[in-house]
Amino acid sequence: MPIEIASGSRWIIDFSRVALRNLQSLNLFRGDDVLLHVIYRPETRSFVLNDCLDGNWGSECTVAAPRDGGLSHVAFELRFLATGLSVAVRGGGRLVIEDRFVLSGEVEASMPRTIALAQPLRAEEDEVLPYPAIPRDGPSGPARDACPEDRTAVAAASPAGATAALAAVQRPAIGMSLSGVLDECAFSPAVGGWLVTGWMPAELPIDGGGRLAAEVKPAEAATGDEIIIVQYPRDDIREVGHAFVLLVPCDATDAPPVPPRQIDLMVSPGVAVRLTRSPGFAMRDEAGMQRLVRDVLTTANRGAVEPLRARIERANFTGEDSFAKLGVPAHVEVDEVIPVRPGAALLFGWCLDPLGLVESIRLCCGAATSAPLEDAWFRTNRQDIVDAFARQYGVVPHDSGFIAWADAQVACDRRLFLEIRLTDGRRGLKPLPQPTRRGSAALRRVLGAASLPGHDLDRIFDRVLGAPLAELNRQRLALPPQPREDRFGTLPAAPRVSLVIPLYGRLDFMRCQLAIFSAQRMASDEIIYVLDQPERTAELVAMAHSAFGSLGMPFRVLLLGDNRGFGPASNAGLAAARGRYVMFLNSDVFPEEADWLDRLVADLECDASTGIVGPLLLFADGTVQHAGMELEPVQELSGWLFPRHPLKGRVPPAGGPRLRHWPAVTGAAMLMRRDLALELGGFDPDFAVGDFEDADLCLRAAALGLRCTVDMSVRARHLERQSQNAGSADWRHNTTLLNAWTFNRRLHPPRPTTAHGG
């Protein structure tokens, strides 16, 4: 299309997300010459300007894009100077180019519809003067509370004055810049921002989505989300313009919100709109503005009518089950809610939709909604639903249950509920039960809820269980342990080795171990038992007094205030340890030789390249339980890497090297320098309860250039897992899978997926 350029012209150019992603360009040309070529270059996060004269491309000029990149919309300003060109990217860089790109007169412009162009503006035009406001009596009457910044505002101009000032434009032309006014606004945290009314002289070419890229001044008034716009007929301005309602997203959790003073809308294709306050601009109360918007939506005919109506309804949810009132043969129920953080939860429920009437189910928190639950759930068998509805519907799917992860991405403590949308456009809201479990109880509930299919583990953990379970685990460990310590006997002043031994389940193993230790050469070492089962504190203390009285072996006991799991309990012992070395040991490991610890310490002292050393562990029948670990993919469990014990179940080898190096050794018995253990931060607490934290620690030591070694000449019997309460099969298995997901995702992060929202 032909465009006239004059010296001093100022253009606003907007590259949409699609234009940025697809490397689309703006071109101004005359004949065969490209006078100006503008394109986004993602590898350098910059815009490139160039020209092609007489078939030869010139040198590139670059100006930085906004730092956050993000490939969301980017706008910038071009000023055509008498001696060159000035470029200013909003949120990015600035550049003045002299003696090049000197453009004037008529040129041809070529650009896709995904690039908007607003031109020309006068160079001295820093503010576009608003059209006069037209007074209107709202639902609460003509008297309105003035905005604090505009308490001296004069009365608005009359409709006749506005008519004289404007030509009645029904449709803006491509490349046009429009002005409009802001009449009233109110902040509505329930809806999610500022509700603003006003008018402009033209009906905007907006689609049914009604979401527009915009810049809001002051900048802190917006969150960066797209503005929602609805246009509606208003009798008092029917001859001169079109009324609108805007929802300007605003997060006011940290500070009082600032009302918008100016809003610049970029409307495709190529229409720029600047909205500024009218002289009679006024603030409304939230309830009054919501009533006005509800009335407006009954007559609105363009823009995001349904999305805005849904926000108003969600914001005013009373707890009534409006979905049940729709009377459709579809059932959606949530049996239990596990809150993860404000606005986000794991949901246990069931869905029966024999006619396929349900389009989507979303979690709501105030006006905010999650992506559809179907994007982040997995189905579970529910025989009780089959039994209850088989007579009514005939064949009922066994997998009508679900576990879903839903995140409305809003930090508020408003009550959670569901929005269920039907394929015919109707929707209903459904209350959710109040949460009853938190902390460890919530973690165990989720992990013990269902048997997980091995072929679908990537999707289940990447999209449903992994992130919320990791967050629940971190929350339960958020407060540092403050253990109480009891000492029995006289301990060495400067221990050589600190043995850290967690206790859970089989507390009686402590007495068995102490009996063996009392006959071994351990006078220069300290023994630290860590009770990870606080409800049995009195029982353990009594047992400790009895064991010391009969055996005389000195030791320490750390009594934790809550159950934290193997890794965090071991870390509590590490924090209390005083030795040069630390020996992480299970309570069901029983060394055979009196000098076992001397020999393991010698292995470390003789070779500085060895970071971790462990003994050969045997089952009670004398076969190998552990002689080192390597990582191996398990195809039936999504191909994830799991630690494998190569010699497990075999007779111990008679020959071969005494020291064998492996990728990892078991945390059931591993010795390392205490300063190394502290440098590595001990076991990573993200591994819940137990499993994989030892392999992870070994890999982190290997990253420092240190080896893991098993001394085949040092032997101990290991009863393997008898020191723990078994728990349910699903809970134990799913805990291992959670830790396997954590371990494997650190080695191989998932590929990014396209986010869904609504």
Instruction: Render pLDDT for 209-236 as a digit per residue (tens, 0 to 9).
Output: 677 777 777 765 555 568 899 999 887 7
Token pair recorded at residue 452: 């997980």
The dihedrals phi and psi of 730, each to the nearest 5 degrees, come to -65, -45
Residue pair 502/569 in contact by the 8 Å Cβ criterion = yes
Distance CA 311, CA 193 (A): 11
Distance CA 237, CA 301 (A): 16
Distance CA 436, CA 553 (A): 45
How would you class 151 by CB atoms within 10 Å of its CB: exposed for 0-12, middle for 13-18, buried for 19 or more?
A: exposed
Distance CA 614, CA 213 (A): 61
Distance CA 645, CA 630 (A): 7
Residue pair 524/597 in contact by the 8 Å Cβ criterion = no
Residue pair 665/612 in contact by the 8 Å Cβ criterion = yes
Q: Does pLDDT of 302 surpass 70?
A: yes
Token pair recorded at residue 517: 């230790």
At 385, which amino acid appears?
A: I
Q: Does pLDDT of 132 surpass 70?
A: no
- Torsion angle defined by CA atoms of residues 442, 444, 445 and 446, in that order, rounded to the nearest 10 degrees: 90
Average pLDDT over residues 736-743: 96
Q: Does pLDDT of 124 surpass 70?
A: no
Q: Does pLDDT of 136 surpass 70?
A: no
Task: Please provide the distance, in angstroms rounded to a whole number, between the alpha carbons at the two ends of the chain.
Answer: 37
Q: Across-strand partners of 757? A: none
Distance CA 719, CA 500 (A): 18
3-state secondary structure of 110: strand
At residue 168 the predicted structure's pLDDT band, cuts being 50, 70 and 90, is very low
At residue 44 the predicted structure's pLDDT band, cuts being 50, 70 and 90, is confident
Distance CA 478, CA 438 (A): 13
At residue 72 the predicted structure's pLDDT band, cuts being 50, 70 and 90, is low
Angle at 595 between CA 592 and CA 598, to 5 degrees: 130
Q: pLDDT tens-digit profile of 457-499?
A: 999 999 999 999 999 999 999 988 889 999 999 999 999 999 9
Residue of 421, 532, 405 lying closest to 481 (CA atoms): 532
Average pLDDT over residues 305-320: 89
pLDDT of residue 145: 38
* DSSP code per residue over 371-425: SPGGGGEEEE--HHHHHHHHHHHSS--TT-EEEEEEE------PPEEEEEEETTS
Helices (H), 681-755: 693-702, 729-747
Most confident of 35-44, 65-74, 119-128, 149-158: 35-44
Distance CA 376, CA 385 (A): 22
Helix, strand, coil % over all residues of the chain, rounded to 5: 25, 35, 40
pLDDT of residue 256: 61
Q: Which domains does the chain have, with CATH numbers?
A: 2-121 (2.60.120.200), 145-315 (no CATH), 324-436 (2.60.40), 484-741 (3.90.550.10)
How would you class 750 by CB atoms within 10 Å of its CB: exposed for 0-12, middle for 13-18, buried for 19 or more?
A: middle
Helices (H), 111-209: 159-165
Q: Does pLDDT of 131 surpass 70?
A: no
Token pair recorded at residue 203: 């009906």
pLDDT of residue 652: 93
pLDDT of residue 185: 92
The dihedrals phi and psi of 147, each to the nearest 5 degrees, come to -60, 140
Q: Does pLDDT of 397 surpass 90?
A: yes
Provide the mean pLDDT of the chain: 85
Distance CA 130, CA 278 (A): 7
Tally of CB atoms within 10 A around 678: 14
Question: Kind and range of the H or E element at 459?
Answer: helix 457-459
Q: What is the pTM of this model?
A: 0.71
Q: Does pLDDT of 149 surpass 70?
A: no
**Percentage above 70 pLDDT, the chain:** 86
Residue 226: CA count within 13 A, CB half-sphere = 18
